[in-house]
Each structure stands twice: as structure tokens, then as C-alpha cells.
Structure 1
Amino acid sequence: MFRSITFLLVLLLPSFALAQSCSFSVANVNFGPVDTLSNNPVNTTSTLTASCTGGLLDIGRRLLICPNMGTGSGGATSATARQMLNGTNPLNYQLYSDPGYSVIWGSNTWSYPARAPAYALTMALLSGGSLIGASGSFTVYASALGNQPTAATGAFTSSFSAADTTFIYGYSSATTCAAPSGTLGSAPFTVNASVAANCLINIQNIDFGTQGVLRTNVDATGSVTATCTPGTTYTISLNGGTANAAPTARKMAKGAETVTYGLYKDLNRLQPWGDASTPGSTVAGTGNGLAQLLTVYGRVPPQTTPSPGVYTDTVIVTLTY
């Protein structure tokens, strides 16, 4: 009878010793300001922390953690782009498990191929020698994708609830999280970014070409291209050139000799394009995230022809938003 009782106790011991418990936390991902007109992504990192405890017979055992991360409340449009939202306006980003930002951090709960990375911890005596467990910190690499010019300005967010962070852990010799099994944990967190108003400008010069006697109008065009975040209002002004002249009396110069010319907003050359010193002569617009081409109409009127040579002027273009 004594031997039977001893045998049963030995059978019960492993069941008690195999019990393990893990808690997790993930620091919020904050991209800060994101320039959506740039082709360059904005990269940042977060930290996933795991803290696990077990029983006496767990010492030396390999604990596999599969921290699944789903789409978050912003959803995802494809395997390569999760989204933060500002109302219904999206901003694309992605989470990765490697410093090269190439291996997407996925989940076995979503429809895309990417799965969670596999992290292994070894159970050991904790500091002080009174508890058995393991802990570790793992980097989450995050990237707000570049070249999103049509993204609206404002604050964007995506929340990862417990349903989006199904962290599966258990003793296992597996090296991947293709088919994880074990105990469930979770670690809710949020992803945030802000998009500020921004504009880019590009200029095409005006060349009146080679002319003889200046007895008729000589017309030519250039352009100012404004690319601004959606809803951003802007004003474009052209100063008076080197001579600081009125919009229709600018001067191209060669030494002390000059050629008078004007810059206009319209094809008929009736609306001068100037700056704040000439009321009503600037050009206003509202960005939509796309390149907006504004033609600059130039005209050299009939005038006394100076000596042959190359005549130039420099006009400063200012975009205010």
C-alpha cells in the first residue's frame, strides 16, 4: 500500500511542475511627425517584454513564445501595409521583427502569410534563488511608409486590443510560429503618428530665346509646381527680380544695359504676377497631395533694343502655407 501511494505522488509532481505563467507588455509605437510628401519612411522601435515563472522541475526547459500581432483597429490593405486612421483617412505603416525592416511581424489570426517571430527563453533560477522563471525584451521595428502625399493632415492611430495580440507560449522545441499551441496571453498597445501641413515647390525657368530687334511682343512660359498635403492652403508670390521692379517692369540685365519684361498669371498677359507689394498679384491654391502645375506667362514688350548679348534676371519664388 505504501508503494502504491508513493507511485501516485510521483505521477502528480510533473503536472504541478509544468505549470508556467507569462505576462507581456508592448510599449506604444509613436512615429511623431511624418512627412508624407517625402519618399523616405519614418522608422522607430518599440519593446515587447516577457516575464515568465514556473515550477521547480521547469529549470532548463525551453519556453517558446509566439507573439502574434494582427491588423489593429486601423486594419490592413495588404500583407505589406497596416494602417492608422484619422477618421476614415488612412496612413500606411508596418511592423517588422528585424532591424532591416524586411520581415513583417504577423499573426496566425490574420489572412496574410506573415507570422509572428519565434522567441525562446530558458527557465532558470531567478535572482535571489527563490523563484524559477525567465524574462526577455524583444524589439519591435516600425516604419511609417514613405510617399503618401494624399494622406490628410492630423493625428492618426491604430489600437491593438487583446484580440490583436494573441501571444501563445508553452514548452516546445519548435523553431517557428507556423502552428503555435499553448497558453494565451496578450499585450494591448497603440500606434500613433501625426501629419503636419507641408508643401514642396519646383521651378521651370523662362527662356525668351534669341531675338533680334525688339519691336513686337516676345512671349515665353515657365512654371511653378506646388505639391501640398491635402487641404493645405498656400500662396505663391514672385518678387521684383534683381531690380526689385513692378511685375510688368522687371529687368533682365547685361552690365548696365537692360531688357524690360513682365510676368503674368494668365495666357493673355493681363494679370500681373507679383508679391504682396502689388495687391492681388499673388496666386493662391489648396493642396490635394498631388503636383499642381501653375504656368508663369512671360512677355518682353516692344522697346529700344540694347546691344547684343545674354540678358538675365533672377526672380525669387515664395510659397507660403
Structure 2
Amino acid sequence: MSLAILLAPSLSFAAYPVCTVRQQASLDFGTVSGTGARDASAYLRVECSGGTNTLISTALFRVCLFIGEGSPAGIAPRRMYNGTDAYMNYDLYSDSSRTLMIGTPGSNHPLHSATFGVAPRATYYHDFPIHGRVRAGQNLPATSAYKGLPTNSMVRYSYGYVYTPTESECRAGTPGHFGGAGIANFTWSGIHARVANTCRISTATDMDFGTAGGLAAALEQTSAIRFKCPANTAWHVTLNDGAYAQAGRRFMNAGGKRLGYELYRDPALLERWGNTRATGVSGIGTNVEQSLTVHGRVFSDPAASPGSYRDTITVTLTF
């Protein structure tokens, strides 16, 4: 004798209309520059069912999204923290033009809400857009990734059977006409961003010693190296020996003729600027343009032949 039990898939509904959020929220801005704004968008899916009472007509919902301040605290702007020494300011909006901020449950920001009807034993899914923007003009170190964790985030919903609940009813969690209300809390995996740890040389000016009738005395001149690095990024600038160096000495060339010169880190012309860490210049980025002065000297040479002497130096910025 054998017995068989047939298992069929089923779908269960709550007795009364209800809304839930079955996912964690997340928003990733990727890599930001720190100086310009950076936008990113995400969606939070809300699931609302119409209940099991088939004697009642379609439930008319208004569903409202609130995002808490979380950690670190703050709104307008909100903040992410890199775990060591800096905060990144950002905002969350309900509209793609980023004019309507999403508020906390107790704030007076414009309500981010949606309305729809759900029949008994039916389910409706609504995707709430969340548009984020990292604010421009921030002095941000690139030492660590940034993260924000908005806690106390929720979806409040009100429903009725005669009219759709108002924004005030949804904000307060007041039931609609002959209906009900509820809260669906949800969590965040985080708001994420990183700062590009990238330095850029903007200018390396030529060093022009001009025209001299002879080299009975040395000539001196300066040039500038301008660059920008993220805040707190360690940098190092070195200069190679040029195209015509011999035995660790720099020379300019004019048709095979040589003219000795040197480049220095200091105005006293005592510290040669070379291509090693010990002979280069080091510092820390500020997220604004920085400038270094290169001091040069052409050595006196009464026997120097006439000509237009040149050399090419490679500037290396290491970070």
C-alpha cells in the first residue's frame, strides 16, 4: 500500500492590507574627485498586499519614505565618515533634478510618497527612487573609503476604502477612511564613496637663463612646478639628470658643445635636486594647487662657445 501527498506551491496574504520592504537599501557614489559634485541613484522596492478579505474593495494606499540621519548624524547635509579623519557631505533627494530632499521621520522636508490601489489578494510593487549627490568643493583626503549608515529609516503607509489618504495622514501614520496604517522599517548596507588618490601636474615652466655676452660669472634663474594632490596624500617630486648628463653633472647642449648647469631645491643653491627620494622634495597634499620653485645656476665658463644651449628635464610626481 502506498500513500502519496501532493505538494502545491501557495501564496499567503495577511488578513488586512500591509506593506513591507524585503531588501536592504544601498547607494554607492563610486570614486569622487572631492572638488566636483558626484551623483548616484538607487531604488527601494516596497511591496503592498490588499489583504484576504474579498468582501472589501480595493485598498487605496499612500506610502511615504523616510530616511533617518544615522551615523554619522546630520541632514542637509548628510555625512559619510572615512573612519580616520574626515567627513564627506552628501544629500538625498526624491527627484532626479535633486531639488526635493528626503527627510527623516520627524522632519518637515517635502514628503516622498506614492499612491496606488491594491485589490484583495493582489500585490503591488512600488520602487521609490533615491537620488544622491556628493557636494562639490570639499577638501577630502583619500586615505580611506567613506561610509554612511542611515538608521531609523522607514516606510509609513496609510490606506482607506473611500479616498486616498492625504500626505498629512501618511506623515503622521493616521489610518485612511475605514482603513488602517502601518510602518515598514528597513536597514541600509550603507552609503559608500571613495576619493580618487590621484595627483596631477598642471604646469612645469621652462627655465630660461636669457642671453649673455659671456660667462665670466654664473647665471641664476628659477622655474615653477605646480600640481595638485588629494588632502593628506603624501607626495614626492624628483628631477632626472637631463639628456646630456655626465658623471652626475647636468649639461646643456648646443650642436655637440656642452655648458654645465645645476638645479637646486633651495635658494642658497646648496641642495641639488635629483632623482632619488633623498634628493627630491616631499610633502602632503591639500586638495588645492601647490607650487615648488626650482632654482637653477649656469656655472661661469669664460671659454664657453656661442650657441643656443638647451636640455630637457623630466619631472616625476610620486604619490
Could you state the TM-score of these two structures normalised by the residue count of structure 2? 0.76
Contact 2:158–2:170, Cα closer than 8 Å, also in 1: no
Instruction: Give the unaligned 5+ runs of structure 2.
Output: 1-13, 174-181
Match runs of 1:141-160 below 5 Å: 141-151=131-141, 153-160=143-150
CA spacing shift, 1:288–1:63, aligned 2, 3 Å: same
Once the two structures are superposed, what CA deviation does each residue of 1:23-59 show, in whole Å capped at 9, x if it has no partner? Answer: 12443223344443xx333433222010011244665
Q: Is the counterpart of residue 106 in structure 1 residue 116 in structure 2? A: no
Match runs of 1:168-317 below 5 Å: 168-171=156-159, 173=164, 180-182=171-173, 183-189=182-188, 190-195=190-195, 197-213=197-213, 214-244=215-245, 249-251=250-252, 253-276=253-276, 280-303=278-301, 304-307=303-306, 309=308, 311-317=309-315
In the alignment, the residues of structure 2 paired with residue 238 and residue 207 of structure 1 have an alpha-carbon distance, to the nearest angstrom, of 13
Q: Is the counterpart of residue 86 in structure 1 residue 82 in structure 2? A: yes
SS in 2 for 1:263: strand
CA displacement at 1:205 relative to structure 2 = 0.9
CA displacement at 1:204 relative to structure 2 = 3.6
Moved more, 289-298 or 267-276: 289-298
Match runs of 1:118-157 below 5 Å: 118-124=113-119, 131-151=121-141, 153-157=143-147
In the alignment, the residues of structure 2 paired with residue 57 and residue 148 of structure 1 have an alpha-carbon distance, to the nearest angstrom, of 58
In the alignment, the residues of structure 1 paired with residue 169 and residue 241 of structure 2 have an alpha-carbon distance, to the nearest angstrom, of 67
In the alignment, the residues of structure 2 paired with residue 176 and residue 250 of structure 1 have an alpha-carbon distance, to the nearest angstrom, of 78
Amino acid at match of 1:21: V
In the alignment, the residues of structure 1 paired with residue 304 and residue 217 of structure 2 have an alpha-carbon distance, to the nearest angstrom, of 11
Moved over 6 A (4+): none
Q: Is the counterpart of residue 27 in structure 1 residue 20 in structure 2? A: no
In the alignment, the residues of structure 1 paired with residue 167 and residue 260 of structure 2 have an alpha-carbon distance, to the nearest angstrom, of 75
Amino acid at match of 1:272: R
CA displacement at 1:254 relative to structure 2 = 4.5
In the alignment, the residues of structure 2 paired with residue 174 and residue 301 of structure 1 have an alpha-carbon distance, to the nearest angstrom, of 87
SS in 2 for 1:180: helix
Amino acid at match of 1:221: T
In the alignment, the residues of structure 1 paired with residue 19 and residue 289 of structure 2 have an alpha-carbon distance, to the nearest angstrom, of 52
Contact 1:54–1:133, Cα closer than 8 Å, also in 2: yes
In the alignment, the residues of structure 1 paired with residue 222 and residue 169 of structure 2 have an alpha-carbon distance, to the nearest angstrom, of 61
CA spacing shift, 1:109–1:249, aligned 2, 3 Å: same
Instruction: Give the unaligned 5+ runs of structure 1.
Output: 1-16, 126-130
Counterpart for residue 5 of structure 1: none
CA displacement at 1:18 relative to structure 2 = 10
Counterpart for residue 66 of structure 1: 64
CA displacement at 1:175 relative to structure 2 = 7.5
Amino acid at match of 1:187: F
Contact 1:66–1:177, Cα closer than 8 Å, also in 2: no
Which of 151, 154, 159 is the equivalent residue of 1:166? 154
Contact 1:240–1:274, Cα closer than 8 Å, also in 2: yes
SS in 2 for 1:186: strand
CA displacement at 1:22 relative to structure 2 = 0.6
CA spacing shift, 1:58–1:193, aligned 2, 3 Å: farther
SS in 2 for 1:107: coil
In the alignment, the residues of structure 2 paired with residue 305 and residue 265 of structure 1 have an alpha-carbon distance, to the nearest angstrom, of 26
In the alignment, the residues of structure 2 paired with residue 19 and residue 255 of structure 1 have an alpha-carbon distance, to the nearest angstrom, of 94
Amino acid at match of 1:106: G
SS in 2 for 1:236: strand
Aligned-residue RMSD, C-alpha: 3.1
In the alignment, the residues of structure 1 paired with residue 298 and residue 39 of structure 2 have an alpha-carbon distance, to the nearest angstrom, of 51
In the alignment, the residues of structure 2 paired with residue 250 and residue 91 of structure 1 have an alpha-carbon distance, to the nearest angstrom, of 49
The percent identity for this pair of structures is 26
Amino acid at match of 1:274: G
Counterpart for residue 128 of structure 1: none
In the alignment, the residues of structure 2 paired with residue 264 and residue 31 of structure 1 have an alpha-carbon distance, to the nearest angstrom, of 43
In the alignment, the residues of structure 2 paired with residue 136 and residue 90 of structure 1 have an alpha-carbon distance, to the nearest angstrom, of 33
Could you state the TM-score of these two structures normalised by the residue count of structure 1? 0.76
In the alignment, the residues of structure 2 paired with residue 217 and residue 177 of structure 1 have an alpha-carbon distance, to the nearest angstrom, of 82
In the alignment, the residues of structure 2 paired with residue 275 and residue 155 of structure 1 have an alpha-carbon distance, to the nearest angstrom, of 32
Counterpart for residue 47 of structure 1: 43
CA spacing shift, 1:121–1:224, aligned 2, 3 Å: same
Contact 2:64–2:170, Cα closer than 8 Å, also in 1: no
